[in-house]
Structure 1
Amino acid sequence: MSERIGLFADLHSNLEAFEACMARAEELGVTRMVFLGDIVGYNADPVAIIENIAALIESKKAIAVVGNHDEAVFRDYRNQMNASANAAIEWTKTQLQESHVQFLKGLPLIIQEEKICYVHASAHNPSDWNYITDSMSAWRCVQNSGKTYTFVGHAHEQALFYQSAVGKLIRFAPHPGDEIPVLQHRQWVGVVGSLGQPRDGNPEACFAVFEPESEMLTFHRVPYDHFRAADKVRRAGLPDDLANRLITGH
């Protein structure tokens, strides 16, 4: 069977969304998983998410990179995040054991393979957590990755940037479920969207599947019990706006 890579970003401690996406990935025949950072933050199940991903990595079924919310667990990010994000990180720290913190600390900032680069924010100065939202930020990313395919998270909305004949990176809004040919003669940046906190007005979880041999990329949306996830956020004493975001998708 040809390789199918599942791409998951910005999980943000959302166990309900994670379980729904893992089930869908299995249905789709995903053979390997890549977690593109921001494993924790915002939501109520950081321990379960870390332990699930650690087990997948240990069994050689997955790889992962670090995100800014993950790094905020062990570095001072209080001046770089809004009040709700900071509150969630401070709460997350109270839930984690030292082994969980060490797991996050051990994640690489960027992973480079033969034709693919995986990074949370951008291959351009990855530790600066730059967002890829337009042609210029996408161009900077591919210039620094040097790879045919670069897959990122950080920006919570799904997008695909492709290289035009003159080298400019053009933004494309993918439709969930459509197979998109991503041919190797161009460079591509795929923003896979947020599994754990979508922000495009649709509360369904995001992920993508890349098939290197057939050069196909498919973006997916997965319904899950976002009301339950939001209720857990409230019961944990986290800010109301974080629960509301799960319900509205904004």
Structure 2
Amino acid sequence: MSERIGLFADLHSNLEAYEACMTRAEELGVNRMVFLGDIVGYNADPVAIIDRIAELVEAKKAIAVLGNHDEAIYKDSHKQMNASANTAIEWTKTQLKENHIEFLKNLPLIVNEEKICFVHASAQNPADWNYVTDSMSAWHCAQHSGKNYTFVGHAHEQALFYQSAVGKLIRFAPHPGDEIPVLQHRQWVGVVGSLGQPRDGNPEACFAVFEPETEVLTFHRTPYDHFSAAEKVRRAGLPEDLANRLITGK
């Protein structure tokens, strides 16, 4: 069976979105999973999300990289975040056991394979958590990864950057469900969007599927019970704006 890689980023402790995306990925024939950081933060199910991903990683069915919210669990880097994000980090710390924290601590910043780079933020100084949002930041990311394909999270909206004939990376807005030919003679940077906290006005969860052999990338949106996820946020005593963001997708 040819490899189909599921790409999931910015899960942010959203169990309802996670389970919906896992079900959809299985229907699509995904046989390898990559979690592109920010496993925790913002939402109400950090333990369940870490447990599920740790089990997949241990079984060699998935790889995961470190995100800035994951790092904030064991470092003081979250002091630079906004008040709601900071509150969610402090709450998440109260929920986790030592094995959950150790799992996050052991996540790599970046994973490089023969033709693919997986990283949460830009491959340019990944520990600085720079966003890939425009042609210049995508170019820097691709140059530092040196790979045909670089897949990132961090920015919560889906985008694809492709290398033009003169080397510049051009932004493309993918349409969910469309198969995009991503031929390896170019460099590509795919921003897979957020599974756990979309911010483009559509509350449906984001992920993508990459098929290396056929050189095809498909972005997906998956509906889930975002009202239940939002209610969990409220019951946990987390900021109201985090619950509202799940409902509005903004």
Class of the TM-score when normalised by the shorter of the 2 chains: over 0.9
How far does residue 80 in structure 1 lie from its aligned partner after superposition?
1.3
State the AA in 2 paired with 1:166: V
* Aligned twin of 2:86: 86
Unaligned runs of 5+ in 1: none
Matched, 1:183 2:183: yes
Root mean square deviation of aligned Cα: 0.4
How far does residue 241 in structure 1 lie from its aligned partner after superposition?
0.1
Question: Is the partner of 2:220 in helix, strand or coil?
Answer: strand
Kindly indicate whether the alpha-carbon contact (under 8 Å) linking 2:10 and 2:36 is maintained by their aligned counterparts in 1: yes
State the AA in 2 paired with 1:84: S
* Aligned twin of 1:39: 39
* Aligned twin of 2:51: 51
d(CA) in 1 for partners of 2:52, 2:71: 19
Matched, 1:193 2:193: yes
State the AA in 1 paired with 2:239: P
Kindly indicate whether the alpha-carbon contact (under 8 Å) linking 2:74 and 2:105 is maintained by their aligned counterparts in 1: yes
How far does residue 79 in structure 1 lie from its aligned partner after superposition?
2.9
How far does residue 201 in structure 1 lie from its aligned partner after superposition?
0.1
How far does residue 159 in structure 1 lie from its aligned partner after superposition?
0.1
Kindly indicate whether the alpha-carbon contact (under 8 Å) linking 2:69 and 2:78 is maintained by their aligned counterparts in 1: no
d(CA) in 1 for partners of 2:60, 2:125: 28
Aligned length: 250
How far does residue 77 in structure 1 lie from its aligned partner after superposition?
2.0
Unaligned runs of 5+ in 2: none
* CA offset digits 1:65-96 (Å, max 9, x no partner): 00000000000024310000000000000000
d(CA) in 2 for partners of 1:15, 1:89: 17
Q: Give the TM-score normalised by structure 2.
A: 1.00
Alignment of 1:192-231 (within 5 A): 192-231=192-231
d(CA) in 2 for partners of 1:44, 1:228: 11
Q: Give the TM-score normalised by structure 1.
A: 1.00
Kindly indicate whether the alpha-carbon contact (under 8 Å) linking 2:78 and 2:89 is maintained by their aligned counterparts in 1: no
Question: Is the partner of 2:241 in helix, strand or coil?
Answer: helix
Moved over 3 A (4+): none
State the AA in 2 paired with 1:81: M
